[in-house]
Amino acid sequence: MKLEMRKKKTFPFGTISVEDDISIEIFSTRRKAFHSFCVEVFRFFRDILFVLMIFILFGVFIAQPVVVEGTSMLPVLHDGERLLVNKLIYYKWKTFSWARIERGDVVVFWYPKDPEKSFVKRVIGLPGETVEVRNGVVYINGKRLYENYLDPEYNRNAANFPLKKIEEHYYFVMGDNRDNSSDSRYWGLVPEKYIYGKAFFRFWPSNIGFIEKGQYEIKFEDERDFNLVEGAR
């Protein structure tokens, strides 16, 4: 009688083998971990790309960061401050105040004499109005403009500038530091198409917060001003 020695059956995972249950899936834990790692890396870079696209679209169509250079807007804005400007004025949605240019707004625009440079000033005169500066005081259509946002320390010059008629689609701008500002008094009006944003928020290096629109009043200074306007009609 011939005795056959049967080799003892071995199992790849303890006492479990594929033959026990055809629904059991055997896989390599190392390969699975590498696959999971690759999936997470892909998701991470996908999310980074999505965020970058959002920031690019935000910068192109909605807001843009700018840096203040100079002291012409003291004491409201200081040299070196970083601002965000609202670019929605491009779309001319006149229904909303943040999408139109109004008196008292701080705007950023291309310098008409050299469009490669940009300035930041405050809107003083609107299309169709007349602007005149007498003894350092601004008059709109013959009425005095009372500018509560100005600091007397930066407005000691009592200069005179002749009456200027503002054409349609143009604006008259001035710096809050009237003693040290190159603005419409010297080089003329700003075309509407050159204004590319309204400053609304400062975020570095100090005074973080929203930039408020300038508060002002327009009224006759005295009876003499009223008679001058009436006599010119």
Q: Is 72 annotated as catalytic?
A: yes
Say if residues 24 and 16 touch (Cβ distance below 8 Å).
Answer: yes
Neighbours of 75 (CB within 10 A): 13
C-beta of residue 138 within 8 angstroms of C-beta of residue 144: yes
Averaged pLDDT for residues 122-134: 97
pLDDT number for residue 90:
62
pLDDT tier, 34 (very low <50, low <70, confident <90, very high otherwise)? confident
Neighbours of 207 (CB within 10 A): 12
Spot the catalytic one: 87, 121, 181, 198.
121
Q: Which amino acid is at 85?
A: V
Catalytic residue of the set 17, 23, 32, 72: 72
CA-based nearest residue to 167, from 184, 147, 142? 184
Euclidean distance between CA atoms 74 and 71, whole angstroms: 6
Please give the Cα distance from 185 to 215 (Å, whole number): 21
Active site residue 17: no
Is a pLDDT exceeding 80 seen at residue 78? yes
Say how far apart CA 112 and CA 89 lie, in whole Å: 18
Which of 123 and 36 is assigned the larger pLDDT?
A: 123
| Confidence band of 117 (pLDDT split at 50, 70, 90) | very high
- Which residue carries 């500018």 as its tokens? 147
pLDDT band at 227 (very low <50, low <70, confident <90, very high): very low
pLDDT of residue 231: 36
CB atoms within 10 A of CB 127: 14
Spell out the residues 6+ positions from residue 179 whose beta carbon is closer than 8 angstroms to its own.
154, 155, 156, 157
> Is the predicted pLDDT of residue 22 greater than 90, yes or no?
no
Look at residue 228 and tell me whether its pLDDT is greater than 60.
Answer: no
pLDDT bin (cut points 50, 70, 90) of residue 127 is: very high
Secondary structure E strands in the chain: 63-67, 82-86, 106-110, 118-125, 130-134, 137-140, 143-147, 161-165, 170-174, 190-191, 195-204, 209-210, 216-219
Q: What is the pLDDT of residue 94?
A: 65
pLDDT band of 79, cuts 50, 70, 90: very high
Where does 64-232 sit in CATH, by number? Answer: 2.10.109.10
- 71-75, 91-95, 98-102: least confident range: 91-95
How far apart CA 204 and CA 162 sit, in angstroms, is 38
- For residue 200, what are the contacts with CB-CB under 8 A and spacing of at least 6? 84, 85, 86, 98, 210, 211
The model's pTM: 0.71
| Per-chain mean pLDDT for the chain | 81
Residues 203-213, mean pLDDT to the nearest whole number:
85
Q: What is the mean pLDDT of residues 140-165?
A: 94
Per-residue pLDDT band at 223 (split at 50, 70, 90): very low
